[in-house]
Structure 1
Amino acid sequence: MTDYDLIVRNGLVYDGLGGPPVRADIGIKDGMIAHIGDIAGPAAEAIDAAGKIVTPGFVDIHTHFDGQATWENRMVPSSNHGVTTVVMGNCGVGFAPCKPDQRDMLVAVMEGVEDVPEVVMTEGLPWSWETFPEFLDVLDTRHYDVDIAAQLPHSALRVYVMGDRAAAHEPPSAKDLEQMRALTREAIEAGAIGVSTSRNMMHRTKAGALAPSLFSEEDELKALATGLRDAGTGVYQIIPRVTGSAVDEFALMERIASVAERPLSYSLLQMPAGDPDEWRVSLDALTVANDRGLTMKAQVAPRPVGMLYGLDLSFHPFSLHPSFRPLLDKPLAEKVAAMRDPAFRAQLLSEEPEDSNPVSVKTVIASRFAYPMGDVPVYEPDLADRIDNRAAALGVTWQEHAYDLLLEQEGRAILYQPGANYRDGNLDAVWEMLTHRDTIVALADGGAHYGMICDASFPTFYLSRWARDAAADQRIALETAVAALSSVPADAVGLGDRGRLVAGAKADINIIDLDRLALHAPTVAHDLPAGGRRLRQLADGYVATIVSGVVTYRQGLATDALPGRLVRGCKAIAAL
């Protein structure tokens, strides 16, 4: 009989808690870390990690796998970037609770807010639940390549309680508020890890209607908070308004956190318009709030949050032009053939984008500020390479230059527009956010934005860009970076049993060749239900990823193992 199921030998072990690395072996038994040190005993399997770093599996607390988790077992494109636990149900959008006659409404919200095509959800969602506890029960029957935790989404809850009045943004009655409070408590007690909402006016259906949660008054937001307090556990996640007073918005979040008596986190970015330093106002207020006893964190991104444009993606410079509309659902080759016709080119270049959704029109217009992505993705591009500047140098309009770029690689070329966090052409604001004591690396959005954003690669970028390649004055110590991807987010949502390499912790582990760690450019795969497309992004340098003591990835390739399960509620480290 072997002493261990698996031993990871000879690696440089980073504990995920910020401690200095140690050369050690890790012995795993029954999905748990049994011992760290010199291990001479036998094991059913051993992995030699000599010359590699060994880290906890990464914890991603901002994903949207709510639909994907019901029809798929692999949570790509997150699980191939060292992520071993994901938290979904962010931004107030999701699919439970939901009555049968409300399904179309929730699908429309998810399609618009998170760019999941309606046909994919219609084909993929089994809808074998109505209440949130029933939704968790369905997830509990499934196996994954990561662990999954779920939050109760406010828009779904509002629609469930108020029906059509929710979509019409009518105020809730006292009875409505009491029911929302009770259902929040019910969801948390059933295993939801928290509740989420959005106040971002960009969150709309594809047709342009605002998401149900957006006009909710403070009493409704506090009803959710009171439900958390009643349950005595769980977290509150919120997308604040990005227009208006940052001071007033933060004060509202403080009041919510005070009522909930539970941790609250919110999204924070340097926006491309308005006051370029408004994010600092939020960070300063965050410091004061935590100093006076609240538990509040800002979720921040380690690079620009960028839009991707392409003929096979959700948007490109001409996707909303009237003459292009008939081509939207055509195969890529047919789009390319049409665009190579000089007459079609002249017609398309003479038009302007048109759509009922102002956010979609704004997204298309912003493509003038995009850059060619290339085979090796560049997330800090030179301003001279921006499409409008390249066009000026060539003596053509930006639309003409964009047209030519889109036809490269037989129409598979991708244009990258670094929006938030790249206002000054550098990542100085990002560095300040990442190094603030009260922030969490997040906002990767895995499972969402299938055709316009591919930020699930954040962990790979963060380690390589900030812990390995940054200039000395901005380099983040590797032990700090590993903690930022593991124990810090895990602890923020109450999952203290993971994100650390210590005896008694869950055996979620990455073995990484740090020198080789690198990202490939995103590519398009048509592998969703109904043949829907999504962006994927591969990486080099992941020697192995282990979930609950079982290897799920070797050299970046998935194994057949699916040890991931639903996580219900907060978890503490096991006693050995």
Structure 2
Amino acid sequence: MSYDLVFRNARIVDGTGSPWYRGDVAVTDGRIAAVGDVAGEGDTERSLDGSVVAPGFIDIHTHSDFTLPANRDAHSKVRQGVTLEIVGNCGTSAAPRYGEAARSVDDWFEGRGLGEEVDSTQWESMTGYLDYLDGDGLSLNAGSLVGHGNVRAAVIGYDDRAPTDDELDEMCSLVAEAMEDGAVGLSTGLFYPPGSYADTDEVIALAETAAEHGGFYATHMRSESDELIESVEETIEVGRQADIPVQISHHKAIGPDNWGKVRATLRRMELVRETEGIDVQCDQYPYVASSTSLGALLPNWAHDGGDDALLDRLRDEQARASIREELKTDRNSSWDGVLVTAVQNPELKAYEGQTIAEIAAADDGTREPADILLDIVLEDENRTMHVNFGMDEDDVRTVMRHDLTMVGSDGSSLCQHGPLGEGVPHPRNYGTFPRVLGHYVREEGVLSLERAIHKMTGMPAARLGLDDRGVLKADAKADITVFDPEIVEQTGDFLDPAHYPAGIDHVLVNGEFVVEDGDHTGARPGEVLGT
């Protein structure tokens, strides 16, 4: 028998969590043809001399909705070994794009200099967006959740109020439409406006709709700090009432007063699985720092009405004073833990790569740190991104070891050039998976190689209901990552993150090389789930 490609003498880690073994992997017509002792010959043969062959990594939690249309080669992801990413997390997706949600989507592309490259007016529905992604090809596979924030903005806008019965029905209809169009589930960002304005009953109603269409519920909870435990309880209640699988996004505890709480939340997740049959799991990125918009640090009420209303409040002396005092009171970590990573206003570029504390020191004390932060949000029209060092390394390891945790970057497909190469992004965009394999597996022994690969492949595939990805087996899609376990590592850091990792030798998507001998081939064989 002949094959298109055979990897020989590989260290096979099949994605199930089973021990590795030596063998061969054969690929034909975009699928895995054989695994183990392959007797036939391949048109192309590669002797790997003991390098690891694993299923392609599945990034269950990403924000590439807006970057993939401008970076279809998905450089920073495929070079990590990622062959499938799920976008639309934290309540924000590129579709549906109706009403006020359309303005937010369009403003994102325009604000980052991508308006000419990406014509977001080409889609409104989830079908339109997925077709747009599929139209010019992708170097990896992609699927999308439907964002609660989009649905709420489309119907209610950015007002801090409950929906009427008719509005809630309309929101449920939008979720149903998106699910029928191919979305894999519903996401919420209950920490961010407008999602933060929703009560639990609203979320349950929308989650019930997603459940009716076979989806799961992923959430950036209301709090990952002082009210972490209460937020986990709310998340479990959504799963209980809506009868839907639950995914707690980037599980962590922010702020020294909250370190250690993850032991209680993880145990709570175990208990409701054991006693009530509620399917709750979580994902995690392997860092002690988070990343989001700088404006997210401001109190929720300041965002009522959207960005224009927020900026008006920052210009109003009395409103600004109230925001300042609440911001100072709610700080969960010091100002030297708030790193400005990306601004859009050219006059603020000097702040990139500096903490608020460093900017204040250079200001010779003329402005308080809180005022510096508010000035940046105002002058950058709430488009600034930041990294916040607020987590504990022991918590990171505790969550990582847990059987309910899978790996998710919470990052985007970026590249080293053009608008998507600007700023100082969180290194998770370039190094999440190699960091787990290099630092936490090889150097620290937090996980075995087999468990780590399972958390990146078979486990997220099961969450997505995919039986032909995430595991090396005959007739599965040939999404494959080949890496050297002795040298694989993240090469960037928080101040200089935009470096592709070391040790990722080959990446196949649907049987075609997208990374070969460490270089991107330019191929775009990716498939879009739901199309």
Partner of 1:125: 118
Q: After the TM superposition, which residues 155-554 of structure 1 pair with which residues of structure 2 at under 5 Å, given as runs? A: 155-162=149-156, 166-200=157-191, 203=192, 211-231=193-213, 233-242=214-223, 243-267=225-249, 268-291=251-274, 292-305=276-289, 327-329=347-349, 348-352=363-367, 353=369, 419-422=389-392, 427-447=393-413, 451-456=424-429, 457-470=431-444, 474-521=445-492, 536-554=498-516
After superposition, the Cα gap between the structure-2 partners of 1:76 and 1:316, relative to the gap in structure 1 and judged at 3 Å, is farther
Helix, strand or coil for the counterpart of 2:210? Answer: helix
Gaps of 5+ in 1: 204-210, 309-314, 337-343, 362-415, 526-534, 570-576
Check conservation: 2:437, 2:489, Cα contact below 8 A.
no
What is the identity percentage for the equivalent residue pairs of Structure 1 and Structure 2?
25
Distance 1:75 1:326 in 2: 26
Consecutive unaligned residues in structure 2, runs of 5 or more: 293-334, 378-385, 415-419
CA distance in 1: counterparts of 2:139 and 2:181, whole angstroms = 23
Residue in 2 aligned with 1:14?
A: 13
Matched residue type, 1:466: Y
Letter in 2 for 1:293: G
Distance change >3 Å, CA 131–CA 4, structure 1 → 2:
same
**Cα offsets for 1:153-185 (capped at 9, x unmatched):** 1111111122xxx30122111111112222212
The 2-side partners of 1:142 and 1:522 are apart by 32
User: In structure 1, how many angstroms separate the alpha carbons of the residues matched to 2:96 and 2:155?
Assistant: 9
TM-fit CA distance, 1:549: 0.8
| 1:555 maps to 2:497 | no
C-alpha deviations, 1:342-386, integer Å up to 9, x for none?
Answer: xx999733433465965978xxxxxxxxxxxxxxxxxxxxxxxxx
Distance 2:374 2:75 in 1: 30
Output one character per residue of 1:98-133: Cα deviation in whole Å (capped at 9) or x when no partner: 23665333456xx6xxxx882335344312011222
Aligned to 2:311: none
Match of 2:527 among 550, 558, 565: 565
Q: Distance in 2 between matches of 1:318 and 1:199?
A: 21
Residues 175-205 of structure 1 deviation map (CA, whole Å, 9 limit, x = unaligned): 11112222212211221111111111xx4xx
- Asked if the contact 2:67/2:412 (under 8 Å) is kept, the reply is no
Larger CA deviation: 116-125 vs 452-461: 116-125
Question: In structure 2, how many angstroms separate the alpha carbons of the residues matched to 1:121 and 1:212?
Answer: 25
TM-score by length of 1: 0.73
Question: Displacement, 1:443?
Answer: 3.9
Question: Helix, strand or coil for the counterpart of 1:252?
Answer: helix
Distance 2:238 2:446 in 1: 35
Cα 1:327–1:187 change in 2 (3 A) is closer
**Residues of 2 paired with 1:349 and 1:252: CA distance?**
45
Residues 76 and 446 in structure 1, CA contact (< 8 A), matched pair in contact too: no
CA 420–123 in structure 1, closer or farther in 2 if over 3 Å, else same: farther
